[in-house]
Structure 1
Amino acid sequence: MKIFTDRKKGPLNKITDVEGIRVGHSTINDGKIKTGVTCIMPHGGDIFKEKLIGASYIINGYGKSLGLIQLDELGTLESPIFMTNTMSIGEVLNSSMKWMIDKYKDVGNKSGAPNIIVTECNDGVINDMRGLHVKEKNVLEAIENISEDFEEGSVGAGTGMISFNLKSGIGSSSRIIEIKGKNYTLGSLVLSNFGKIKDLKIGNREIGRQMYLKSKEKKEGKDKGSIIIIIATDIPLSARQLKRVAKRSAIGLGNVGSFLGHGSGDIAIAFSTANKIKDNTFEDIRILREDLLDEVFKACAESVEESIINSLIYSKSEISKDGKRIFSLEDNLKNLGIDF
Structure 2
Amino acid sequence: MTRVVIAALTYAALGCSLEGAPLVAAQDADAIRHRIRDLGIVVGSYPPGPLNAITDVGGVKVGHTTLISGEGPLNPGIGPVRTGVTVIIPREDVWHNKVPAGSFVLNGTGEMTGLAWVAESGFLEYPVALTNTLNVPRVANGIMDWMIARYPDIGITDDTLTPVVAECDDGRLNDIQGRHVSERDVVRALDQASSGAVIEGSVGAGTGMVSYGFKGGIGSASRRLSEKENGYTIGVLVNANHGRRPELVVSGVPVGKLYDTDTPVAQSVHPGMSEGSIIIVIATDAPLDGRQLSRLAKRAALGLARTGSTARHGSGDFILAFSTANVIPHYPQTPTFALTHLADTHLNPLIAATVEATEEAVLNALTMATTVVGRDDRRVEAISLTRLRALIEPRTEQR
Match of 1:41 among 81, 89, 99: 89
| Contact 2:145-2:187 within 8 A present in 1 as well | no
For residue 173 of structure 1, the aligned residue among 203, 215, 221 is 221
Alignment partner of 1:282 is 2:321: no
Q: For 1:141-180, what aligned pairs fall within 5 Å after superposition?
A: 141-148=188-195, 149-178=197-226, 180=228
Per-residue CA distance 1:239-280 (angstroms, 9 max, x = gap): 100000000011011100001101110000000000011121
Please, what TM-score do these two structures have when normalized by structure 1?
0.95
- Answering whether residue 255 of structure 2 is matched by residue 196 of structure 1, we say no
299, 313, 321: which is aligned to 1:270? Answer: 321
Alpha-carbon shift at residue 55 of structure 1 (Å): 0.8
Whether 1:246 and 2:288 are equivalent positions in the alignment is no
Instruction: State the Cα distance separating 1:99 from its structure 2 match.
Output: 1.6
**1:106 match:** 153
Deviation at residue 98 of structure 1 after TM alignment: 1.6
Q: Which amino acid aligns with 1:328?
A: A
Residues 26-83 of structure 1 deviation map (CA, whole Å, 9 limit, x = unaligned): 000112200001010101x211010000011011111122111101110010000000
- Aligned twin of 2:260: 212
* Residue 52 (str. 1) matches residue 99 (str. 2): yes
Structure 1 unmatched runs, 5+: none
Shift in Å, 1:332: 8.4
Mapped to 2, the partners of 1:225 and 1:267 lie a distance apart of 12
* SS across alignment from 1:275: coil
| Matched residue SS, 1:73 | helix
Q: Distance in 2 between matches of 1:229 and 1:324?
A: 27
Contact 1:223 1:262 in 2 (8 A): no
Unaligned runs of 5+ in 2: 1-38, 71-79, 394-399
Question: Once the 2 structures are TM-superposed, how far is the Cα of residue 132 of structure 1 from its aligned partner?
Answer: 1.1
Whether 1:326 aligns to 2:373 is no
**What residue is the counterpart of 1:132 in the other structure?**
179
Q: 1:179 offset after TM fit, Å?
A: 5.8
Q: 1:293 to 1:219 in 2, by over 3 A?
A: same
Q: 2:355 aligns with which of 298, 301, 304?
A: 301
Closer, same or farther: CA 223–325 of 1 in aligned 2, 3 Å: closer
SS of residue in 2 equivalent to 1:248: helix
Tell me how far apart the structure 1 counterparts of residues 40 and 147 of structure 2 sit (CA, whole Å): 40
Within 2, Cα distance between the matches of 1:203 and 1:331? Answer: 14
Is 2:53–2:221's contact at 8 Å kept on the other side of the alignment?
yes
* Residue 24 of structure 1 pairs with residue 80 of structure 2: no
Q: Does 1:8 align with 2:47?
A: yes
Shift of 1:106: 1.3
Matched to 1:2, the amino acid is G
Shift of 1:144: 1.7
User: Residues of 1 paired with 2:172 and 2:328: CA distance?
Assistant: 41
For residues 8 and 64 of structure 1, the distance between their equivalents in structure 2, rounded to whole angstroms, comes to 33
> Shift of residue 110 of structure 1?
1.9
Identity of aligned residues (%): 39
In the alignment of these two chains, the number of paired residues is: 338
- 2:278 pairs with one of 227, 231, 238: 227
Q: CA 1:181–1:227 in 2, change beyond 3 Å: closer, same or farther?
A: closer
CA apart distance, 1:115: 2.8
Whether the aligned pair in 1 keeps the contact of 2:65 and 2:85 (CA below 8 Å) is yes
Instruction: State the secondary structure of the residue aligned to 1:213.
Output: coil
Change (3 A) 1:216 1:332: farther
Cα deviations by residue, 1:135-166 (Å, 9 ceiling, x for unpaired)? 11210111122112221110000000000010
Matched residues in 1 for 2:227 and 2:63: separation? 31
Q: 4+ runs of 1 displaced by more than 4 Å?
A: 336-340
- Which structure has more strand as a fraction of its residues? 1
Question: How many Å apart are 1:183 and its aligned residue?
Answer: 0.9
